[in-house]
Amino acid sequence: MSGEEIIRVLIVDDIPDTRENLRKLLAFESDIEVVGGSGAGTGREAIELAIKHKPDVVLMDINMPDMDGITATKGISEKVRTAAVVIMSVQSEPGYLRQAMLAGARDFLTKPVSSDELYQTIRRVYDRNAPIRQQMAQMSAMPAANTARAAVADIRQEVGLSAAGAGHVIVVYSPQAGAGVTTIATNLASALMSQDTRVLLMDCNLQFGDVDTFLNLQAQSNISDLTKVVSDVDQEMLNSVLVTHGSGLKVLVAPPHPEQAYDIAPEDVKELINLVAGSYDFVIVDMPTLYDDLTLKLFDVAERILLVATPTIPAIRNTRKILDILEYMEEPADLKEKVLFVLNRVVGERDKGRGTVPTASIVNALKQPVLAEIPLGERAILTAVNQGVPLVAKDTKNSPGRDLLNLALALRREVEGLSADEVENTTEQGRSGLRALFG
């Protein structure tokens, strides 16, 4: 260990005198610094202080009120990976020690602890933990998105939001009004939802959101109830604001009045998504047609952007403009690589030519592969909307229900397992194509 490194130690014991004695012992050593004030008196406090102060070493008592040392060790090992926990027990208790080891403890001290033993053990576990510290330091030096995600992960743990989901954030967007964004977002969310897939559908069309209408939901609360207190959102609050559709789908609706959208800061929407995403496997976001600050924030937070267009000249033109922006925007970067392109209201061979452009020509013009084509199906889709049930929940045998289901499957394949080569090909194809188009 090099001379300048300071080992930061957190002391956990329910007896204040014990903490104080340990603190005094450690004060003699110039390479050791005690963090977290007078230490933690309970297991719960230990986890809180460990998250806050990120100690290198935690001296952990076993028997404590509220939460025992073993449980706290498990919590700290999971949440603060750079912290090495040293268990302090009254006499060697084999049963406890085994449990403590399984919980992630690195070493043991028997009380009363001699000063030499204490110093040696602290320096030993600190040295042994060097590879983990290096790994975490490298991760935090990675692009901002990763550190932001890690910071959010800490907040999530503190407020008790579950982290059980894969957290794929998929935003659905079109630069053309009425292209079918809400139709696709609601059906996609519904199709992805199955017993083992947790899906949250968010209406970020803040002025004229209509997800509630599409799903026939009556909501008492809406997204603004969360964004205005975003730093205080916890699981309980989230549960009280989300509405559950008859199918079990969780929905966060838009405000009932357009003017309420002005009170919602795009940054807070982004933060909210970051905060809740990990509790779901998929967060599907319905977006307005606008191109503004919120649009960019949503593109930035998204893992994938489902870009929707109808096969018409004006729609293709607007799509080209958006692809161009996404390609050349420097901040946030790499947006173009997130795009998955979907054509909606595609007509059959018989009706071709009536103002609609064939898919092959669109792909050729945009140099953008098409993930899925959803056929025109006025009656089926309107009936479903009138009933407040997504079409995929009613009929996946016939078009366009079948195609909407296939879109969900294709998206799943994209986010869950496309080989690196395939990803490379798709993005490279798009890139070189756009270069050709826009010089």
Ligand X SMILES: Nc1ncnc2c1ncn2[C@@H]1O[C@H](COP(=O)(O)OP(=O)(O)OP(=O)(O)O)[C@@H](O)[C@H]1O
Residues that bind ligand X (CB under 6 A): 174, 177-183, 205, 289, 344-345, 374, 376-378, 381-382, 385, 400
Q: Taking the complex as a whole, how short is the minimal distance between the CB of residue 255 and ligand X, in angstroms? A: 15
Residue-wise burial string across 53-92, b where 16 or more C-beta atoms lie within 10 A, e elsewhere:
bbbbbbbbbbebeebbbbbbbbbbbebbbbbbbbbbbeee
Q: Taking the complex as a whole, how short is the minimal distance between the CB of residue 127 and Mg ion, in angstroms? A: 58
Q: Of 181 and 339, which has the nearer Cβ to Mg ion? A: 181
Q: Tokens for 348? A: 């059959």
- Evaluate whether 212 touches 218 at the Cβ level (below 8 Å): yes
Q: Of 87 and 185, which has the nearer Cβ to ligand X? A: 185
Q: Taking the complex as a whole, how short is the minimal distance between the CB of residue 384 and Mg ion, in angstroms? A: 15
Q: Of 122 and 298, which has the nearer Cβ to ligand X? A: 298
Q: Of 227 and 344, which has the nearer Cβ to ligand X? A: 344
Q: Taking the complex as a whole, how short is the minimal distance between the CB of residue 326 and Mg ion, in angstroms? A: 20
What is the distance of C-alpha 397 from the center of its chain? Answer: 33
Q: Taking the complex as a whole, how short is the minimal distance between the CB of residue 70 and ligand X, in angstroms? A: 52
The residues near 271 (Cβ < 8 Å, ≥ 6 apart) are 152, 230, 231
- Report the candidate in 278, 284, 328, 281 with the shortest Cα–Cα distance to residue 306: 284
Q: Which of residues 149-208 bind Mg ion (CB under 5 A)?
A: 181-182
Reading phi first (left if > 0) and then psi (alpha if -120 to 50, else beta), residue 7 is in beta
Q: Of 10 and 342, which has the nearer Cβ to ligand X? A: 342
Residues touching Mg ion, count (CB under 5 A)? 2
Q: Of 73 and 356, which has the nearer Cβ to ligand X? A: 356
What is the distance of C-alpha 342 from the center of its chain? Answer: 23
**Alpha helix stretches (DSSP H) within 5-114:** 16-27, 43-53, 69-79, 94-102
Q: Taking the complex as a whole, how short is the minimal distance between the CB of residue 182 and Mg ion, in angstroms? A: 3
Q: Which does 179 bind (CB under 5 to 8 A by kind): Mg ion, ligand X, none?
A: ligand X
Q: Taking the complex as a whole, how short is the minimal distance between the CB of residue 302 and ligand X, in angstroms? A: 17
Q: Taking the complex as a whole, how short is the minimal distance between the CB of residue 179 and ligand X, in angstroms? A: 4
Q: Which does 183 bind (CB under 5 to 8 A by kind): Mg ion, ligand X, none?
A: ligand X
Q: Give whole-number Cα distances, 245 to 168, 278, 297, 389, 402, in Å.
A: 21, 21, 27, 9, 21
Q: Of 129 and 182, which has the nearer Cβ to Mg ion? A: 182
Q: Of 179 and 305, which has the nearer Cβ to ligand X? A: 179
- Evaluate whether 388 touches 249 at the Cβ level (below 8 Å): no
Query: What does DSSP assign to residue 142?
Result: S
Q: Taking the complex as a whole, how short is the minimal distance between the CB of residue 408 and ligand X, in angstroms? A: 15
| Rounded Cα–Cα distance for residues 413 and 397 (Å) | 21
Q: Of 181 and 233, which has the nearer Cβ to ligand X? A: 181
Q: Of 288 and 433, which has the nearer Cβ to Mg ion? A: 288
Amino acid identity, position 37: G
Query: What does DSSP assign to residue 216?
Result: T
Q: Which of residues 76-115 bind Mg ion (CB under 5 A)?
A: none
Amino acid identity, position 436: A
Which stretches does DSSP call E strand in 281-353? 282-286, 304-309, 339-346
User: Residue 130, Cβ neighbours under 10 Å: how many?
Assistant: 12
Q: Tokens for 35? A: 């963090």
The residues near 98 (Cβ < 8 Å, ≥ 6 apart) are none
| Rounded Cα–Cα distance for residues 72 and 50 (Å) | 10
Q: Which does 121 bind (CB under 5 to 8 A by kind): Mg ion, ligand X, none?
A: none
- Evaluate whether 312 touches 180 at the Cβ level (below 8 Å): no
Residue nearest Mg ion by beta-carbon distance:
182
Q: Tokens for 244? A: 């559950």
Q: Taking the complex as a whole, how short is the minimal distance between the CB of residue 422 and Mg ion, in angstroms? A: 31
Residues lying near Mg ion in the complex (CB under 5 A) are found at 181-182
